[in-house]
Structure 1
C-alpha cells in the first residue's frame, strides 16, 4: 500500500471510529456496568486481552503464568494476548474496535476522554464495584487506583503496576562542578550552567519519544496548584496563558538557555539517552522505577555505580503540593468489556487479581497492592530497597502525565512546540499563543 493510500485509510478508520462512537451512546446493549457478579454457569472458553505492554514485560509474564494455573482447573480455558506495544498503533486499533463494538473481554486503556465516553455508554465494568465485590479494594495502593480514575472519581480500569519517577543523578559529576542537588525547580538552570562550565552534559533526555520532555511541562504547574490545572486545561476551563502555564513555559525556556539537555536531544532515543547517564556522560536522568533493574543493580557500570543516587521532584516556594507528591503512575489500566462479561470472566478475574500481586512482586517489581513485599534482587544496590520502601510513603496528589490527559491533537501540538521552545526557536509568548489557539480549536472541535 502506498503512503498516500495508507494515510487515507488511516484517516478514514479514525473518522469512522469517532463517528461510530459518538453515535452509539445508549445503543451499546443492555449490559449493566454495576452487575459485577453475573449469574450463570462458568463455561471455560478462550478470552482475549487487547494489550499495549512489552511482550516480555513483568505484567504479561505474570498473567501468562496465572492464566496457565487457572486453566489447570478449567480445561478449555485460555487467555489470548493481543499485543501491540507501539502506543500510537495500539490506540488506533483500540478506538477502531471500540467503534465497531468488537472489543474483546479485556482491553488496555488510559483514563482518557475517549475511555470516559465508553464508560458513560455502559461499555466498561465498574471496577470500583468489582474490586469491592471481590473483597480486594482495600488491598490496592490508593495512588495506584487514583491514577486510573476519571475526572469524576469513578474507576473503570484495574492497575497492574506501580511506579515512581525520580531524578537519578551522578553525585561525582555534581561534586566535580561544585553543584548540590536542586532544592527547588528554580535551581535547575543554575545547576545546568555550572555543569556545562565543567564540560558536563547536565541532563540526559529522550527527546525522540517526546513524552519525557512533556513530563517537564507538568512539573511547575503541579507544584503551583496541584493536579487541577491540567484537568481545567483539557476541559477548557484554563489556558496556557494562566500563571501555571506561563511559569512552565518560562521555566522550560530557561532550561534550554542554560543548555540543560544534550545537543541534539530531539533526535535522541530512549536507549541512547539512558546510556548517556549510565556511562557517566550526563549528570541527571529523569525516569521511573521500571528501570530499577538497570539503575539500581550490579548491571550498572561499576565506574558509575557507587556515584548514582536519586532525588524526587523538587518543590517551589509556596508549593501547593508536598515533597512526597510527584509522578507516581500505575501504568495503562485494564478495562473489562460489559458486553462479554459473564461468570467465566468474573471467575478468572477473581482468581487472577488475587494471585497477581505475589507473582508480580516476585519479579522485583512494585505491586499496585500493599499485600505483598517486592522481592529485592540478589544483585540490587542500596537504592533498590530504598526506592521500594519509598513507595509506601507517597502522598495523595499525583502529578499526572499530560500525554494521558490532553486530547490527541492538543497533545501532539504541545510535544512539537515544547521541542521548539527548549531549542530557543520560539519564545514563551509565542509558545503560549500557539498552544492556546490549538486548545481552543480542539475544545471546540
Structure 2
C-alpha cells in the first residue's frame, strides 16, 4: 500500500501516453471480451509482472497454487517478476506496455494509463472473465469496485481486501481526558489536548507521502462523496469548490494544532508504526494489513491492551455513512489479451477458485465474501473485531487520490500538502496552486 511517484516516473507516464494513443488491438491474441477461447490447454511457462512483497501472503499463496497446477499439467510454470518498489515498478510496467511486451499477467491500479490499455484492447475484461468461470458473485462488491474505472468497467482482479481505521491508544486518550472524535472537525481539539500532556497526537509516515493524501481526501469524501475526485482529476471540479476548500482548511488546522509529529515529512513507514506501537503517539491511521503488528501478542505488552480503533468520523451534513470509508483491495492483476489463451484461462480458473480459502487461512481478509479469515492463535480480541468491522462496509468507499490524479498533478499535490500541513503556505495559496496545476495537466494526460 505504500505509493510514491518520482519525477522519472511522471515523465515516463506522460511520454508513453501518446504512444498508446496510436495502439490498436494487434493481430495476435484475442479480443478483450473473448474470455473463453477454444482449443487445447498446452502447458508452458507464463509470467506475472507484479509489485507486491516477495514474501507476502498473496505471492506465497499463488506460488503454492501454481506449483499444484504444475503437478497436474507438466511443463507449466508461473514465473514471478517482482519489483516491490512502486515507482520502479510503474516505470517498468509502462515501458513494457509501450513496447507491447507485457507478460501474461501484470499488476496495475485503475489509473488513466491503465484505462488507455483497456481502451485499446490490451487487457481482458475481468468482469466477463470472472463471470465465465463462475466466480464474480463471490467477490466483495467493495473489492471489485476499487478496481473499476470511472465508467464501471472492470479490467483488474483483486487479490486482497483491506479496511483502513484510526488505531488509537486508550491510555493516552484517558491521560488527555478525551474520547475518539465524533466528527472530523473534532481532530484539532483532540490534538491540542494530547499535546498539552506531552503526547504526539498522530504518527504519520510523511516520507511515503500517500498517508498524508489520505487525510486530504477525507473531508471531500464526507461532504461530496467519491464523485468529487473523479471530477477533480478531469478538471471538472476544483479545489476552490466547497469540498476542496474544506480539505485545505482542515489540513491547515491539523498542522496548526500540532497533530503530526515534528519533522513528519522525513519520517518513514517503520518509524511511524514504531511511534504508535511503542506508546509514543496516540493515533495511527493504517489498514488491516497491519493487524499482525497491532492485534497480536507480537505487540509490546505495555501497550497491547490499550490499542483500539475507530472508523473515519463523519461531518455535519455528511453525504457518506459512518460505515463508508477507505476499503481498498490493493493493486489489481490484469490479464494481457495479446497472450491470453486456453492455458491462461484454465490456470486462472484453477487458482482463483482455490485462492480465497488458502489466503484467508493465513489470517488475511479475502477479496471474496464466501470464506472467513482464520484469526491467528496469537491474536488479541482486537483482531476479530477489526475483521468484523471490515466486513461491515457500505456501498460507497473512498479511493486513494494517488491512483486518481495524473502523475504530474499528484507529485505537486504531495509537495503542497506537506507545506500546507507545516504551515508554510496558506489554504488559499494551496488551492490556487493546485487548481492551476490540475487545469494544466489533467487534459493533457487524459488525451
**TM-score interval (norm. to shorter):** over 0.9
Shift of 1:25: 3.6
Shift of 1:371: 1.5
Whole-angstrom distance in 1 between the partners of 2:407 and 2:256: 29
The equivalent of 2:244 in structure 1 is 245
Residues 114-129 of structure 1 mapped to structure 2, 5 A cutoff:
114-129=113-128
> Which ranges of 4 or more aligned residues in structure 1 deviate by more than 6 Å?
7-12
Answer yes or no: is the 8 Å Cα contact 1:28–1:123 preserved in 2: no
Whole-angstrom distance in 2 between the partners of 1:328 and 1:444: 29
The equivalent of 1:21 in structure 2 is 20
Whole-angstrom distance in 1 between the partners of 2:441 and 2:131: 37
The count of residues paired between Structure 1 and Structure 2 equals 439
Whole-angstrom distance in 1 between the partners of 2:134 and 2:17: 37
Secondary structure of 1:31 counterpart:
coil
Per-residue CA shift, 1:61-119, capped at 9, x if unaligned? Answer: 00000000000000000000000011111111111100000000000000011111110
1:86 counterpart = 2:56: no
The equivalent of 1:3 in structure 2 is none
Residues 367-382 of structure 1 mapped to structure 2, 5 A cutoff:
367-382=366-381
Whole-angstrom distance in 2 between the partners of 1:296 and 1:433: 43
Structure 1 residues 8 and 120: CA distance shift in structure 2, 3 A: closer
Answer yes or no: is the 8 Å Cα contact 1:17–1:100 preserved in 2: no
Whole-angstrom distance in 1 between the partners of 2:29 and 2:334: 18
Please report the TM-score for the alignment, with normalisation by the length of structure 2: 0.96
Shift of 1:389: 1.4
Shift of 1:444: 3.5
Whole-angstrom distance in 2 between the partners of 1:344 and 1:442: 41
Per-residue CA shift, 1:23-51, capped at 9, x if unaligned? Answer: 21455757211111100110000000000
Shift of 1:20: 1.9
Answer yes or no: is the 8 Å Cα contact 1:174–1:180 preserved in 2: yes
What's the Cα RMSD here? 1.5
Per-residue CA shift, 1:337-392, capped at 9, x if unaligned? Answer: 00000000000000000010011001000000011111100010111001111222
Whole-angstrom distance in 2 between the partners of 1:368 and 1:263: 37
Answer yes or no: is the 8 Å Cα contact 1:218–1:402 preserved in 2: yes
Shift of 1:10: 7.7
Residues 206-221 of structure 1 mapped to structure 2, 5 A cutoff:
206-221=205-220
The equivalent of 1:419 in structure 2 is 418
Per-residue CA shift, 1:125-145, capped at 9, x if unaligned? Answer: 001101111011110000000
Residues 18-417 of structure 1 mapped to structure 2, 5 A cutoff:
18-25=17-24, 27=26, 31-417=30-416
List runs of 5+ in structure 1 lacking aligned partners: 1-6
The equivalent of 1:4 in structure 2 is none
Whole-angstrom distance in 2 between the partners of 1:143 and 1:236: 26
Secondary structure of 1:340 counterpart:
coil
Shift of 1:287: 0.3
Structure 1 residues 10 and 272: CA distance shift in structure 2, 3 A: closer
Whole-angstrom distance in 2 between the partners of 1:438 and 1:31: 39
Answer yes or no: is the 8 Å Cα contact 2:202–2:283 preserved in 1: yes
List runs of 5+ in structure 2 lacking aligned partners: 1-5
Whole-angstrom distance in 1 between the partners of 2:58 and 2:197: 42
Answer yes or no: is the 8 Å Cα contact 1:161–1:331 preserved in 2: yes
Answer yes or no: is the 8 Å Cα contact 2:29–2:340 preserved in 1: no
Whole-angstrom distance in 2 between the partners of 1:11 and 1:146: 26
Whole-angstrom distance in 1 between the partners of 2:28 and 2:74: 30
Shift of 1:433: 0.5
Answer yes or no: is the 8 Å Cα contact 2:239–2:245 preserved in 1: yes
Secondary structure of 2:54 counterpart:
coil
